[in-house]
Amino acid sequence: MLASRICTILPPMDESGALAVAALRSIAAKAFKPEYWRVPPFRAPHHTASAVALVGGGSTLKVGEITLAHNGVLFFDELPEFSPKVLEVLREPLESGYISISRASYQVRLPARFQLIAAMNPCPCGYLGDTEGRCRCSTEKVRQYQARVSGPLLDRIDMHVNVSSLSDYDRERLLKGNQKNSENSEEIRARVTQASARQFARAGKNNAFLSQAEMRKHCKLSSEDEQRLKQAMQQFKLSTRAFFRILKMARTIADLDDATDIGRSHLMEAIAFRFPQQSGASFPGLPPGQ
Ligand SMILES: [Zn+2]
């Protein structure tokens, strides 16, 4: 439910982005809907969809879901149920924003710059860590299930968040919709749009697309915080990719905070998003630990 709402808090696409999305829908023979003009696409393919349907290709070229999600959001529910082959193919577009497809009769490079959101259960039955102890999965079964998602793919996901199940009490409060500190999508979108505008004013692009040279200029840390990040790298054996992704995430958290410089709390929050168990990250709008 949270994933499907994300487009309601994203800023509208600019005109060239919207034209690209319309052109890609046109090649895929999908209807153009004027009411969705400039609304970022949201694609949520089922895990039983074929590799061609997801990635694109085929004997006569078909545009895949990852290309239809260009400039928008690609949502994979039940991530470990997707074919490991398809998941590995995602690594290329997640880095470059393109998918290259080679067949005997053609070679193409299609745009596929999407924001990936994935959801998975902690174990096959879904109850691991449940306070009522309902999980009956063996340690080996849990390990096998979690290993279906490879380390290199997880490394390319910036925010890992544990979402605990809702108690009846939480559910009632959510339905009433009168929680303290709750924001509606419009309000959140205003904050996201402002943070994005700050990024464009500073670097002419969103933080996600900063080059390493641009990061040296725009994602400076105090020498003490730089030391702290290096320590975390060693302690948690983080990759160089994770290092740069954490910096960009910290810059984004600082932008949402309207801060000129990346502060300690921004950096620590960005690092914590790599380790959901330690971060205390929880269902938005509920107090920590809920
Ligand atoms: Zn289980």
Query: How remote is the CA of residue 272 from the centroid of ligand 1, in Å?
Result: 25
Query: How remote is the CA of residue 190 from the centroid of ligand 1, in Å?
Result: 39
Which CATH number belongs to the domain containing residue 72 in this structure? Answer: 3.40.50
**What would the pLDDT profile of 180-194 be if each residue is shown by its tens digit?**
667 889 999 999 999
Biggest CA pair distance of the chain: 59
When pLDDT is cut at 50, 70 and 90, the band that residue 226 belongs to is very high
Query: How remote is the CA of residue 143 from the centroid of ligand 1, in Å?
Result: 11
Same domain, 90 and 160: yes
Query: How remote is the CA of residue 141 from the centroid of ligand 1, in Å?
Result: 8
CB contact burial 255-269 (16+ within 10 A = b; e otherwise): beeeeeebbeebbbb
Query: How remote is the CA of residue 122 from the centroid of ligand 1, in Å?
Result: 7
**What would the pLDDT profile of 138-154 be if each residue is shown by its tens digit?**
999 999 998 999 989 99
Query: How remote is the CA of residue 120 from the centroid of ligand 1, in Å?
Result: 12
| pLDDT above 80 for 168 | no
Same domain, 126 and 225: no
Query: How remote is the CA of residue 144 from the centroid of ligand 1, in Å?
Result: 12
Task: Let me know if residue 69 belongs to a domain.
Answer: yes
Which of 176, 206, 227 finishes a domain? 176
| pLDDT above 90 for 222 | yes
Task: Let me know if residue 143 belongs to a domain.
Answer: yes
pLDDT at 111 (0 to 100) = 96
The dihedral region occupied by 107, where left means phi > 0, alpha psi between -120 and 50, and beta the remainder, is beta
Same domain, 172 and 193: no
Yes or no: say if 48 and 90 are a contact pair by the CB < 8 Å rule.
Answer: no
Strands across the sheet containing 42-43: 42-43, 73-77, 115-119
Look up residue 38 and give its two tokens: 């400039």
Beta strand residue intervals within 95-137, DSSP E: 98-102, 107-111, 115-119
Query: How remote is the CA of residue 33 from the centroid of ligand 1, in Å?
Result: 42
Query: How remote is the CA of residue 45 from the centroid of ligand 1, in Å?
Result: 25
Query: How remote is the CA of residue 215 from the centroid of ligand 1, in Å?
Result: 42
Task: Let me know if residue 287 belongs to a domain.
Answer: no
Query: How remote is the CA of residue 139 from the centroid of ligand 1, in Å?
Result: 9
Query: How remote is the CA of residue 49 from the centroid of ligand 1, in Å?
Result: 25
Task: Let me know if residue 286 belongs to a domain.
Answer: no
Which of 130, 149, 176 finishes a domain? 176
Q: Residue 260's domain spans which residues?
A: 185-274
**What would the pLDDT profile of 55-109 be if each residue is shown by its tens digit?**
999 988 999 999 999 999 999 999 999 998 899 899 899 989 999 999 989 999 9
Same domain, 193 and 161: no
Which of 176, 193, 212 finishes a domain? 176
**What would the pLDDT profile of 7-32 be if each residue is shown by its tens digit?**
899 999 999 999 999 999 998 888 88
**What total of structural domains would you count in the chain?**
2
Yes or no: say if 233 and 243 are a contact pair by the CB < 8 Å rule.
Answer: yes
E strand or H helix that includes residue 76: strand 73-77
